[in-house]
Amino acid sequence: MTLKRLAMRRHQLFPNYRILVKHVREQELRDQRRLRELELKYAQQLSREKSHEDFVHMAVHELKSPVTVLKAYLQMMGMKLSREEQHTLLSTIEKMDVQLDRITHLISDLLDGTRAGLGTLHCLMNDFDINESARVCMANLKAAHTDFVTELDTDPSEPVAYGDRERIEQVMNNLLTNAVKYSPGEKYVKLQTRLVEGQIVVKVTDHGMGIPEHKQQQVFDQFYRVDTDGGKKVPGLGLGLFICADIIRKHSGQIGVSSREGEGSEFWFSLPYRG
Ligand SMILES: Nc1ncnc2c1ncn2[C@@H]1O[C@H](COP(=O)(O)OP(=O)(O)O)[C@@H](O)[C@H]1O
Ligand SMILES: [Mg+2]
């Protein structure tokens, strides 16, 4: 078939061929323009988020510096008071030091909470001994809360986990701190590690105030705090569990809670098992 015939045939089949081509081209141009607009918006959004994170990072640094200096001064005063055996003043200094540690934690939570919200909280994955982490976290808790009855139940097979050890210890510490914070009555905390169906499962149990069933899933949301009478009395930012959930998500693990109001809670998370 000659070219001329082809053109005629095409004209018979699609009488509006030229209009159709023009229409398709215009649509293509519109799509390209829209794509460019979206790319630009995305780049602007990324740079806004980056400057938001940069700002929080800078603010955190600015807030942490005076706290570090204050801690150093307190330490010097503590040493002097200890030499002079001024025990009452020394105990006041120790209480001030505890409060400064609280401020440091709150500042760190603000930074990690921002990062978790922006998806920029990073984890450095490695093999590590999960039982050793549990022992360290429990020892810290026992030292800080001598009034609590504690129980540590580690898996006898000494499993090796795959993840960011520091971040996982941050999760354990957060769950243990919550267990203490939300247990105004019976002061009991248990930390357990177990190998279950090829995964490592870590559980923190308390006999505290518990969480009403319909609020249990929301506790992992950013800034969420349970507004029961008991809960309202305990200070906090509502960022701890949000950060924990993000860290565990980065490990392809799961996090959850089962709880009964007035009886206690069991928070757990799972992690990849290495051997
Ligand atoms: N072990 C627990 N027992 C009872 N309530 C808890 C426990 N852990 C967390 N919660 C509830 O979940 C909320 C969110 O916890 P979290 O994100 O750690 O924030 P924060 O402790 O700063 O309030 C808390 O305000 C509290 O109401
Ligand atoms: Mg908390």
Q: Which pLDDT tens digit goes with each residue over 57-111?
A: 888 889 989 999 999 999 999 999 999 999 999 999 999 999 999 999 999 999 9
Asked whether residue 212 carries a pLDDT value surpassing 90, the answer given is yes
Query: For residue 164, what is the DSSP state?
Result: -
pLDDT at 262: 95
Neighbours of 161 (CB within 10 A): 27
Cα(126) to ligand 2 centroid in Å equals 26
Asked whether residue 29 carries a pLDDT value surpassing 80, the answer given is yes
Which pLDDT tens digit goes with each residue over 98-123?
Answer: 999 999 999 999 999 999 998 889 99
* Helix or strand (DSSP H, E) at 161: strand 160-163
Cα(254) to ligand 1 centroid in Å equals 18
Q: Which residue has the least CA distance to atom 27 on ligand 1?
A: 226
In this structure, the residues whose C-beta lies within 6 A of any atom of ligand 1 are 178-179, 182, 206, 208-211, 219, 224-226, 231, 236-242, 265
CB 272 within 8 A of CB 251: yes
pLDDT at 1: 62
Asked whether residue 209 carries a pLDDT value surpassing 80, the answer given is yes
Q: Which residue has the least CA distance to atom 13 on ligand 1?
A: 225
pLDDT at 138: 98
Rg (CA), the chain: 28
d(CA 103, CA 63): 9
Work out the average pLDDT over 242-263. Answer: 97
Of 50 and 273, the structure prediction assigns the larger pLDDT to 273
pLDDT range class, residue 158, cuts 50, 70, 90: very high
| Cβ within 8 Å of residue 115, ≥6 positions away | 53, 121
pLDDT at 126: 95
Work out the average pLDDT over 199-228. Answer: 95
- In testing the pocket of ligand 1, which one of 241, 246, 258 has its CB within 8 Å of the most ligand atoms? 241
What structural domains does the chain harbor? 1-121 (no CATH), 126-272 (3.30.565.10)
Please report, as a single letter, which amino acid is at residue 16: N
Q: Which residues keep their CB under 5 angstroms from ion ligand 2?
A: 178, 240
Q: Which atom of ligand 1 is found nearest the CA of 204?
A: 1
Query: Which ligand number lies closest to the CA of residue 234?
Result: 1
Cα(219) to ligand 1 centroid in Å equals 7
Asked whether residue 245 carries a pLDDT value surpassing 70, the answer given is yes
Asked whether residue 195 carries a pLDDT value surpassing 80, the answer given is yes
Query: Which ligand number lies closest to the CA of residue 244?
Result: 1
Work out the average pLDDT over 199-214. Answer: 97
Cα(81) to ligand 1 centroid in Å equals 38
Q: Which atom of ligand 1 is found nearest the CA of 264?
A: 3
Q: For the whole prediction, is pTM greater than 0.85? A: no
CA distances from 74 to 32, 78, 99, 113, 226 (A): 63, 6, 12, 29, 35
Among residues of the chain, what percentage have pLDDT more than 70? 99
Q: What is the mean pLDDT of the chain?
A: 92
In this structure, of 105-114, 128-137, 168-177, the range with the lowest mean pLDDT score is 105-114
CB 137 within 8 A of CB 169: yes
